[in-house]
Chains A and B, each alone.
Chain A
Amino acid sequence: MKNLRDFSKETQDTLEDINLEDLVSLSPYLEEKDGFKELSADLKDKYDFSLDGFTAFPFPIPSEEEKAKIVEKFLKGIEKLLDPESNWTFLKPFSLSLKYCVKCNTCAEACHVYVGSGRKEIYRPNFRSEILRRIYKRYFTPSGKLLKSFVSADIEVNYYTIRRLLELAYRCTLCRRCALYCPIGIDNGLIARELRKMFSQELGMAPVEVYKKGSRQHLKAGSSTGMGPEAFKDIIKFIEEDIHERIGKKISIPVDKKGAAILLLHNGGEYLAWPDHIAAFAILFDFAGINYTLSSETLGYDGVNYGAWYDDVELARIGLRHLQIAHDLGVKKLVIGECGHSHKVYTIVFDKILPASSPLWNIQRESCLPLMREIVKSGKIKFDPNRNNFPVTMHDSCNIVRLMGVMQPQRDVIQALTPNTFREMNPNRSYNYCCGGGSGFAIIRSLNFPTWRIKVSFRLKTKQILDTFSDVLEKDIPKVVIATCSNCKGALRDIIKTYDLFEKYKITYSGLAEFIVNAIADIPPFLNLDELPE
Chain B
Amino acid sequence: MDILLNLFAFLSPLLLLLGIGIKFARIANQPVHVRWEIYDIPSAKRGEAEHAGSYLEEIDWMKKEPKKNLLVEFVEPLKEIFFLHRVKKFNIYGLWIWSLFLHWGIWLLFLWVFLVLLNATLYSFNLENLIFIAYLSYGFGVLGSLGLFVKRISNKELKLYTSGIDYVNLFFLFLLFFTGLLMIQLDDYSNEVLSYMKGIVSFTLQSENFSTLTLLHFLIFEIFLLYIPFSKFFHGPVKFFTFHKILWNDSYQKKGSREEKKIMQQLNYKVKWAAPHILPEKSWLENAQNTNFDEK
Interface residues of A (CB under 8 A from B): 1-4, 73, 76, 80, 83-86, 88-93, 95-97, 100, 102-110, 121, 126, 130, 147, 149-152, 154, 176, 179-187, 190, 200-204, 211, 216, 219-220, 311, 313-314, 316-317, 319-321, 347-349, 351-357, 361, 364, 366-367, 369-371, 374, 401-409, 429-430
Contacts and interface: CB of A to CB of B under 8 A. Distances in A.
A105 B93 contact: yes
A367 B205 CA distance: 66
Interface in B50-97: 51-63, 80, 84, 86-87, 90-93, 95
Contacts of B27: 92, 96
Contacts of B87: 104, 106, 183
Interface in B208-263: 232, 234-235, 238-239, 241-243, 245-247, 250, 252-257, 259-260, 263
Interface stretch (B4-12, B196-204, B288-296): B288-296
Interface stretch (B31-39, B119-127, B138-146): B31-39
Contact of A405 (B52, B257, B270, B276): B52
Nearest to A90: B33
B274 A352 contact: no
B160 interface: yes
Contacts of B271: 86, 313
Given A92-B241, A103-B162, A430-B40, A405 B33 contact: no
A357 B260 contact: yes
B270 A216 contact: no
A411 to B, nearest CB: 10
Interface string B265-281: 01101111111111000
Given A106-B95, A150-B163, A351-B252, 7 more contacts: A73-B274, A106-B86, A184-B238, A316-B288, A321-B291, A356-B257, A409-B57
A352 B290 CA distance: 19
B33 A92 contact: yes
B254 A356 contact: yes
B60 A364 contact: yes
A375 B246 CA distance: 34
Most buried by A among B84, B242, B246, B278: B242
A494 to B, nearest CB: 27
Contact of B84 (A183, A371, A405): A183
A454 B267 CA distance: 40
B86 A313 contact: no
Contact of B288 (A108, A110, A185, A313): A313
Contacts of A76: 274
Interface of B: 27, 30-41, 44, 51-63, 80, 84, 86-87, 90-93, 95, 99, 157-158, 160-166, 232, 234-235, 238-239, 241-243, 245-247, 250, 252-257, 259-260, 263-264, 266-267, 269-278, 284, 287-291, 293
Contacts of B234: 100
Nearest to B259: A352
13 contacts: A83-B272, A84-B30, A86-B269, A88-B31, A90-B33, A103-B162, A106-B86, A152-B165, A176-B38, A202-B274, A352-B32, A366-B56, A429-B51
Contacts of A316: 284, 287-288
Q: Is the contact region of chain B dominated by helix, strand, or loop, or is it mixed?
A: loop
B59 to A, nearest CB: 5
Contacts of A219: 291, 293
Nearest to A126: B161
A460 to B, nearest CB: 16
Give the top 7 A-B pairs by smallest Cβ distance, nearest first.
A405-B54, A185-B242, A152-B163, A88-B31, A316-B288, A405-B39, A201-B273
B161 to A, nearest CB: 4
B44 A184 contact: no
Given A83-B272, A102-B232, A104-B91, A187 B161 contact: no
Nearest to B268: A85
Nearest to B49: A408
A180 B38 contact: yes
B86 A93 contact: no
B53 A150 contact: no
A530 B24 CA distance: 60
Contact of A104 (B56, B99, B243): B99
Contact of A185 (B165, B243, B256): B243
B56 A405 contact: yes
Nearest to B155: A105
Contact of A352 (B33, B84, B164, B275): B33
Contact of B289 (A103, A320, A374): A320
Contacts of B61: 364, 366
Contacts of A91: 30-31, 33
A183 B125 CA distance: 38
Given A355-B264, A364-B62, A80 B36 contact: no
A201 B99 CA distance: 40
Nearest to B290: A317
Contacts of B34: 89-90, 348-349, 351-353
Contact of B39 (A2, A320, A403): A403
Contacts of B31: 84, 88-89, 91-92
A366 B54 CA distance: 12
A100 B234 CA distance: 8
B247 A187 contact: yes
A367 B242 contact: no
Given A313-B288, A317-B287, A364-B62, A356 B273 contact: no
A211 B34 CA distance: 22
A202 B273 contact: yes
Nearest to B261: A355
A105 B242 contact: no
Given A80-B273, A176-B38, A92 B92 contact: no
A25 to B, nearest CB: 19
Nearest to A201: B273
Contacts of A216: 277
Given A80-B272, A84-B31, A356-B253, A405 B288 contact: no
A85 B269 contact: yes
Contacts of B289: 317, 320
Nearest to B50: A429
Given A76-B274, A313-B277, A406-B54, A108 B92 contact: yes
B145 to A, nearest CB: 14
Given A109-B90, A183-B87, A356-B257, A313 B54 contact: no
A105 B161 contact: yes
Contacts of B51: 407, 429-430
